[in-house]
Each structure stands twice: as C-alpha cells, then as structure tokens.
Amino acid sequence: MAQVLRRRGRIQVKLDAREREALLSIVDGLAAQGETALAAGQRAYDEPELQAEYDRWVRPDVERSREADLTVVRDSLGAGENTLPLTEAQALAWLRAFNHLRATAGGILGIEADGWEEQVDAATQKRAEYGVLLALGYLQEELIAALDS
C-alpha cells in the first residue's frame, strides 16, 4: 500500500512498481475521459450567457492547468523509483490532478453532490471507478496530512 511521508522538508511518496503502474494507468485512463467530458461541454453555469463567458475566458486556463498537473504526476511516476520525492509545489499538483481525476470518476458513477458516500449501492461499489475514487481519495488525504506535518 502506498505511503506518503514528510522527510527533511520534502514529501515522499512510496509506491512499488505495480502501484506506480496501476496509478499511471488510472491517470491516463481517467485523464482521457476527463478531456472528453470537458469537450462535451461540462457546465459551470446554467445561464447560457454566463457559460459562454466561462468557456471563453476560464475554460482554456482550467484545461491548461489540469494538463500541467497531470504531467507532473506522470513525470513523477515515470521516474521508475519506489520513493518519489516531491516538492511542496509538486505535491499540490498531485492533489489538484487527483481532484480532477476523482471528479471524472464521480461523473462516470453519476455522483453529482456531497453525501454520496451514504447512498452508494452495492452495484456501484463493484465498479472499477468506485475503487479508483476511494484510492485517489486515500492518496489525497495522505498528501494533505504530509503537507500539514
């Protein structure tokens, strides 16, 4: 199981080769689905005028920053090391990337609001995206705890 520690002022993520491979597969798979969701017009506003302004002014920056965060995660995982030292900026990029990926997994599962954990059914719990949602949440919690220490 992945470990996240803070040592000598840096965050260390410890993953074995199998865990790195699995996480990289999750990142690549959900990132592609997240791009599709963004391209399909995921909405920030109900009002068409506000949505058009958002699409024009904000969406390009969101997409660029999302891709930059995912690149930081991919680069770290691609290093082939069992212990990944992260700067605080890299750890924050991991958190943002995991947030994007969790939103994508949640969208696939049909999760639209907080409190979903209490209403999840057995069929949803058996889906791969549910396991991904929990695993990424665990890693986020560990990263936050390490950043806070």
Among candidates 11, 3, 7, which has minimal Cα distance to 85? 11
pLDDT of residue 146: 94
pLDDT of residue 40: 52
Per the CB < 8 A criterion, the answer to whether 70 and 78 are in contact is no
Q: How far apart are the first and last CA of the chain?
A: 20
pTM: 0.85
- The number of distinct structural domains making up the chain is 1
Determine what percent of the chain falls in helix, strand and coil, rounding each to the nearest 5. 70, 10, 20
Give Cβ neighbours of residue 84 (< 8 Å, ≥ 6 apart): 12, 13, 14, 15, 76, 77
Distance in angstroms (rounded) separating the CA atoms of residues 58 and 10 = 32
pLDDT of residue 1: 77
Per the CB < 8 A criterion, the answer to whether 26 and 97 are in contact is no
- List per-residue pLDDT tens for the chain, 149 residues long: 789 999 887 899 999 999 999 999 999 999 888 766 555 556 788 898 998 898 889 888 888 999 999 999 999 999 989 999 999 999 999 999 999 999 889 888 888 777 777 788 888 889 999 999 999 999 999 999 999 98
Query: What distance lies between CA 67 and its chain's CA centroid?
Result: 11
Decide: residue 36, CB within 10 A, 0-12 exposed, 13-18 middle, 19+ buried.
exposed
Boundaries of domain holding 55: 3-148
Q: Where are the beta strands (DSSP E) in 42-97?
A: 83-86
Q: Which residue has the tokens 């696939």?
A: 108
